[in-house]
């Protein structure tokens, strides 16, 4: 049996005396689309930050494709094939859309810290960047400065940067935050398209997105996972209902 794409074992995180993430166990098999939901303040973003090494866990173990990545730094984890997007748009605002995406492909193509090669002569980097830009639907905005894009365009670019490097495990942090209904639909279609065959872990608040996209769902409440299962199982789960609605709908 191949190792799961992502596995968390007993992961805890405390800030001072405040426990944010308590003893989280999670296993995401390769190719699965997994959503993490939960009330505000449950610790979902913190969990993402722990996985992508924005800060280290207080205890526990994180494995990527079977390898221990708990103590690795963010760029090391990224080089091993895990990429993430951010809840608050995190792009290179003084670069064009094209340059944003091109930068994201450079390491995966092996160009490293080269200062002896002309960037515009690197055909594979340019081609890959254009391909990604096409897929995220920003071809018309290819040469515009990232800071002048609309919010939805910036979110699309955010996803583009996340995927450009060809990572196999993708973490998306509230990708449809702040979007209108139609924008959300487009975003979901985009995500479904571009994560074909990859492992996707997603934090989302929009239940429509979650139930439409996810193969399995984990529910995080007060830093603990109270349930994991298919969308139907989660929908029927009493503990989940109580956490979200405050009452248990014992009567159907």
CB-based burial, 102-120: b 16+ in 10 Å, e otherwise: bbbbbebeeeeeeeeeeee
Shortest distance (Å) from residue 172 CB to other proteins: 13
Residue of 104, 133, 213, 225 interacting with other proteins (CB under 8 A): 104
**Using the rule CB under 8 A, is 111 a contact of other proteins?**
yes
Given 78, 154, 199, 228, the residue binding other proteins (CB under 8 A)? 78
- Residue among 14, 87, 126, 241 that touches other proteins (CB under 8 A): 126
Asked whether 81 and 133 are in contact (CB, 8 A), the reply is no
Q: How far is the CB of 100 from other proteins (least distance, A)?
A: 8
Q: Which two tokens stand for residue 100?
A: 């944003």
Residue from 87, 22, 33, 27 nearest 199 by CA: 33
- Pairwise CA distance, residues 52 & 86, whole Å: 11
Window contacting other proteins (CB under 8 A); options: 30-38, 107-115, 188-196, 233-241: 107-115
Shortest distance (Å) from residue 119 CB to other proteins: 5
Site residues, other proteins (CB under 8 A): 52, 54-55, 73-75, 78-79, 83-84, 86, 90-95, 99, 102-104, 106-108, 111-123, 126-127, 130, 161-162, 164-165
């Amino acid at each position: 049996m191949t190792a799961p794409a992502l596995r968390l074992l007993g992961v805890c995180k405390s800030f001072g005396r405040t426990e944010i993430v308590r003893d989280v166990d999670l296993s995401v098999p390769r190719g699965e689309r997994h959503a993490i939901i939960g009330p505000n303040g449950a610790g979902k973003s913190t969990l993402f930050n722990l996985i992508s090494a924005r800060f280290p866990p207080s205890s526990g173990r994180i494995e990527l494709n079977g390898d221990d990545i708990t103590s690795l730094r963010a760029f090391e984890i990224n080089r091993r094939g895990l990429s993430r997007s951010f809840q608050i748009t995190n792009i290179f605002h003084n670069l064009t859309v094209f340059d944003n995406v091109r930068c994201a492909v450079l390491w995966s193509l092996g160009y490293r810290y080269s200062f002896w090669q002309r960037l515009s002569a690197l055909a594979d980097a340019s081609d890959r960047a254009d391909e990604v830009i096409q897929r995220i639907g920003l071809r018309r905005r290819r040469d515009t400065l990232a800071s002048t894009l609309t919010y939805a365009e910036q979110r699309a670019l955010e996803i583009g940067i996340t995927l450009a490097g060809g990572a196999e495990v993708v973490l998306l942090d509230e990708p449809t935050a702040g979007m209108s209904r139609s924008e959300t639909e487009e975003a979901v279609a985009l995500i479904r398209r571009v994560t074909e065959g990859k492992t996707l872990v997603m934090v989302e608040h929009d239940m429509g997105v979650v139930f439409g996209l996810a193969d399995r769902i984990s529910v995080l409440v007060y830093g603990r996972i109270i349930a994991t299962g298919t969308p139907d199982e989660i929908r029927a789960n009493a503990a989940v209902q109580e956490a979200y609605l405050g009452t248990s709908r014992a009567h159907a």
